[in-house]
Every structure is written in structure tokens, then in C-alpha cells.
Amino acid sequence: MGLGHEQGFGAPCLKCKDKCEGFELHFWRKICRNCKCGQEEHDVLTSNEEDRKVGKLFEDTKYTTLIAKLKNDGIPMYKRNVMILTNPVPAKKNISINTVTYEWAPPVQNQILARQYMQMLPKEKQPVAGSEGAQYRKKQLAKQLPAHDQDPSKCHELSPSEVKQMEQFVKKYKNEALGVGDVKLPGEVETKATDKNNVNNGDRGTSAAVGAMEGKSADQKASQYFCYCCKLNMKEGDPAVYAERAGYDKLWHPACFVCCTCSELLVDMIYFWKNGNLYCGRHYCDSEKPRCAGCDELIFSNEYTQAEGQNWHLKHFCCFDCDCVLAGEIYVMVNDKPVCKPCYVKNHAAICQGCHNAIDPEVQRVTYNSFNWHATQECFLCSCCSKCLIGQKFMPVEGMVFCSVECKKKMMS
């Protein structure tokens, strides 16, 4: 089972710029070997790969209308709704056409409604081709819907038992949690909800509901819709998002249709519904299974390591720098990543202002602002008279320390 190491090879990092030599996938972590950033931080052309991933997610679900199978290999591909808007722009001599392409738009027949929906999103999150919003969408597709959360072939060395467990897990969330938001005007959604209730309650419920609606003034009607997320009023003429699994009585502003954990806009309105909350794919899976902090995959084994508030496959509790196994070894956490002692001393240790050597993580040190010293009589000394300052008052000046005003004046003069 491969992780697709050839994909995006050499692509520049959008975060590290020239500091990264180009994307090179680590052999089991989902990061670049050169700069340690994720693939989503690199300028990798992934539209076809992402469409395959989402297509596979929708396979064997009620959302098969959003996918098409290729004739040559039968792989399901996501049929993204791309919206192209043309606006005439008056020029000095003639009229030019300004074209705006949205790399994704709600799959609704009414383009005016889709356009309204887009305008209600923050400008920096509107997926206009070549814009910051398009980059945001691409990044969220990678983050919210990791291929290794649904496809065993994208995982690293799963056992046959783990593959079977994963397949059952994916089938379960497709049946019980996965959904795609639908954009409607609030009045349309209420009509659906009323119709659904009528099926359950009979004709008597229909008469009561219609009578109640007819009795409302326009002002009352405009304020009867509330966003499930922000609780603020929703205007009847503005598009709203509803999630079928949540029920037709719940509506969201387009910008409020977000994951309850990361608060990011649910990419392409793909959601997972659980216990009254919307989740993105990643955080829904996190609520169901432990995730390995090393390889970013879900853990289907009964045996795994818990350390520093995180979970790890036994074989993946390794030094973030050199990949040596850390079981039974001394390690130091650096930016929430475990690093072995030799790598810490070599790459991350604070440097002593006194002797200019790295400070071992197991020895005592004195820290002031960004400066560090070994807490020894040989290192933490007055920069003028060399008096030991351990346990004494001192005066810091730009990386130097003094025992008295006199010593400071001597040195500074």
C-alpha cells in the first residue's frame, strides 16, 4: 500500500518559500521531509486527486449524483459545480467582459441563489480561481477530508484486520453521519419541513400549519428564521444552508456552516452530523477513533501509546527529527513533537550566554527573556567582575548580567 510519494514532488512550499528545497513526502509521516510542513502547504496541483478522493467518499451513498465514473478505469470522480460569471465592464471605446470563475459553487439550478451564497461568505474564503479563497478551499479539502481517513490504500502498513475495521468504520459513517449541505431560501426549507410533518401528522396538521402561516405579518415572517449556529435572525430572501441529517427545522447562514471543533467553513458543504453538531470529516473521525500524532492516521489497533496528551501507533512514537524509536528513551517535546535527547541538543537546545555551549535538557538553567545560562558558578557570572550570581540579584543588559550598578557602568563605558 503506497502513500503516493511521487505526487507533488519538488513543489515549492507556500509557507517556507525558498527555505524548502521542494516537496518530498516523508516515508510514513504526511509531511515534507525537507521543511516538515504538510502537503497542503505546498503548491501541489491536486485537483484531479482531490476530485477522486471526494468521489470515493460519495461512492455507495445517496450522493452518487455528485460523482461520475470514468470509462477507462471506473474510478468515481467528484463532479464539482464550477460557476463562471461574466460581467460587462464599460471601457473607453467598447465594452470588455470580466469573467470570474468559482472553482466550486453550490450545486443549485438557480445561479442567482448560488451567487448570493458566495457573496455571503468572507471574501478571503470565496473560491475564485487564482485567489486566496481558492487556496483556502484546497487547503481545507486536504485538512478536513484526509484520504487516509477513508481509503486503506492511503495508509501505512495496515494489517488485514485493521483494513477490515477501517472499511466497516467508513461504511458506518457514510450511513450514519455523512451529508452535503443544501442551499435554499428559508421559505422553501420551511415548506419542505411542513410537507414532511404533514406526512407524519395528516391533513389536520396541514390546515393548522397553513392557518398559522397566513396569520403572520410580513415582519413576523422575516424574523421567524434563526441560524442554528449564531442564533441571529435570517432574512427570508437570503440563501440558507440546511443539513438533511440535522432536520429541516435547522438552518445556517452560509458563513456559519462550520465545523464545531475547528470553526472552519465546511469545505464544499460536506459535513458529518453527530449529537446535534456539525463536524468536518477530520474532527468527526477524531471524535470516534484515536489519531496517531506521528502519521496522522486513525488507530484501529487495540495497542497504542499515549504520551503528552496525544496518541501514537507503537511504531510511530519516534523522534520528529531522526525517526528513532523513543520507547524507553529520554525525549523532549518541541512544538508538541517529541525529539530525542541527541537531536534536541544538536538542533533545539538553548545556548548558554556564559560558555556558548548547548544546555542539556536535564540540567538546571537560568533564563531571562530570550537569554539562557547554565545554572553553575562557571557560567552565571557578572559580565564585569565574574562574581557568581546564582541566588543573587542581578541587572540584565542585552545578554549581559551585572552584580551592581558600578559593574554595569564600568562595562558600558
142-157: pLDDT as tens digits = 999 999 999 999 998 8
pLDDT at residue 190 in the model: 58
pLDDT at residue 183 in the model: 96
pLDDT at residue 96 in the model: 63
Please choose, from the candidates 178, 176, 186, 192, the residue with its C-alpha nearest in 3D space to the C-alpha of residue 266.
178
H-helix or E-strand spanning residue 52: helix 47-58
pLDDT at residue 90 in the model: 60
What's the burial of 13, exposed, middle or buried (CB within 10 Å: 0-12/13-18/19+)?
buried
d(CA 187, CA 28) in angstroms, rounded, equals: 50
Residues of the chain with pLDDT under 50: 1-2, 194, 196-222
d(CA 146, CA 127) in angstroms, rounded, equals: 19
For 311, the 3-state DSSP assignment is strand
C-alpha cell at 362: 536535564
pLDDT at residue 213 in the model: 36
pLDDT at residue 207 in the model: 30
pLDDT at residue 95 in the model: 63
d(CA 108, CA 184) in angstroms, rounded, equals: 9
- Per-residue burial over 127-162, b if 16 or more Cβ lie within 10 Å, else e, is bbeebebbebbbbbbbbbbbbbbbbbebbbebeeeb
pLDDT at residue 123 in the model: 96
Q: Is the torsion defined by CA of 234, 236, 237, 238 positive or negative?
A: positive
Please choose, from the candidates 268, 107, 298, the residue with its C-alpha nearest in 3D space to the C-alpha of residue 178.
268
d(CA 269, CA 252) in angstroms, rounded, equals: 11
